[in-house]
Chain A
Amino acid sequence: MPNTSDQPDDVLIVALAERDLGALATLYDRYGRLAYALAYRILGEGQAAEDVVHDAYISAWRGAASYRRERGNVRGWLMSIVHHRAVDVLRRKTTFRPAPLEAAAERAADDDTAEAAERNVEHQTVRAALEGLPQAQRRTIELAYFGGYTHVELAELMGVPLGTVKGRMRIGLQKLRRALEVQGTYRERSR
């Protein structure tokens, strides 16, 4: 493959399984920034985030042959590897995570830079959809996904029964899905 930069993800993933370094580089150029943002949000620290993204890409490099299109797109697959690893690192390094809500708010504030303002329109619509959720649902989803909390920890943290945690996630994600479907953005995101 002489030039991978214009190839769709589905082609790149096949090339990746065939150990094509160009395909790896293109997938990094395409989603490395998103992967880093995710790892950084979970771990709150650049060095650890960098390690996680490195490990996730190498894991994708090794495991590309196991990728199945019918289980989701390449971007989603990469993000789930990054997420899994980052949460794993977080759980191993912290047995006690203080003041998650404050920490999250602090981080969000420090991210409101000029660069952040350049987010594309699609990006803002997903964020808008999340922000449009009732606060309890949004927090439950964010603390689970970005905070690495298990539902048992969340129930304790938020002082609600397990069933409530589960219910908030379910309803929140359903609303999010409908919002995204209305916007018609998310099926087309992956290249």
Chain B
Amino acid sequence: MIHVTDELELYSLGALAPGDAARVTAHLSECPACREQARAIDEVVQELPETLPGREAPGRLRDRILASARAELATVRAPRRDMAWTARLLRPALVLAAGLWLAVGAAALVNENLSLSNELKVVASDRATYESIVEGIRQGGRWWYMAGKDGWTGSGGTLIAPRAEGRPPFVVFHDLRPLPRGQLYTVWLVSSDNTWVRGATFRPDGKDVQAVDVTAAIAGFDSCAVTIEDSAWGRRAGPVVMESRIVPPAP
């Protein structure tokens, strides 16, 4: 084992390049001796903010943090019934993939299906979110994949409408771009006569994968899209950055 003693000050001060920092992190996770030294250095480094002049944060920041936490509580509420079933799925990721195939069974969407199952594995670290997603898929239903376009190529999201009563539709996004402050992603449900109804408005949370609940009922719409808006209300005004490209499978 190559110890990282020599790099711990750099590591703690944040002065290593990302690759080196990751290597040190990995080493610390398995070496108690280096970990103890790192902790002693961290103790000093973590005092550095105390050398700064006090600076009052804007009053709205507290409200904003609490609002985000509250919104997240609402989004990730986990279904507690049938835990044994989800617990079984939580273990082997392969079983999850198989479960997805059975539950969704949309042969036309091979690529999206595989990518969705991979995304769900990423979310698996957030158990509550994961359970609610698995629960939604297990109950079957319809789903749409929205592919990112233009500057959003590589981003995407799957809108899943569970068949079961009482479980709202939701979107699992992957690789969402960060947005400038004041801008919002908005999910739209689009009917065949081109009526756009707002389904969700949210800010990206910076994770690789993000689940977002949709507040409108899916019935009567046949495609969906994501735009960037300045406001959480009103008609669509911003550019379309993702849209569903395939007619959804029949329920």
Residues of A in contact with B (beta carbons under 8 Å apart): 19, 21, 24-25, 28-29, 32-38, 40-41, 46-47, 49-51, 53-55, 57-58, 61-62, 70-73, 75-76, 79-80, 82-84, 87, 108, 111-113, 115-116, 118-119, 122-123, 126-127, 130, 141, 144-146, 148-152, 154, 165-166, 169-170, 173, 176-177, 180, 186-187, 189
- Selected from A24, A75, A112, A141, the residue in CB contact (under 8 A) with B69 is A24
B205 contacts partner chain A, Cβ-Cβ < 8 Å = yes
Q: Which stretch of B52-60, B140-148, B216-224 is in the interface?
A: B52-60
Least Cβ–Cβ distance between B107 and chain A, in angstroms: 36
Contact A116 B42 (CB under 8 A): no
Which residues of A lie under 8 Å from residue B16 when comparing CB positions? 150-151
From known contacts A21-B66, A40-B55, infer whether A130 and B48 are also in contact, taking CB-CB under 8 Å: yes
Number of A-B contacts (CB under 8 A): 164
Q: Which stretch of B5-13, B88-96, B149-157, B227-235 is in the interface?
A: B5-13
Which residues of B lie under 8 Å from residue A51 when comparing CB positions? 181
B72 contacts partner chain A, Cβ-Cβ < 8 Å = yes
Least Cβ–Cβ distance between B23 and chain A, in angstroms: 14
Bound Cα distance from A150 to B243, whole angstroms: 40
Contact A54 B64 (CB under 8 A): yes
A115: nearest chain-B partner, CB-CB: B54
Which residues of B lie under 8 Å from residue A169 when comparing CB positions? 9-10, 13, 15
Contact A58 B48 (CB under 8 A): no
B105 contacts partner chain A, Cβ-Cβ < 8 Å = no
Contact A46 B58 (CB under 8 A): yes
Besides A116-B54, A126-B48, 12 other CB < 8 A contacts? Answer: A33-B57, A40-B55, A53-B57, A61-B69, A62-B126, A76-B46, A119-B54, A144-B13, A144-B14, A145-B13, A145-B14, A149-B15
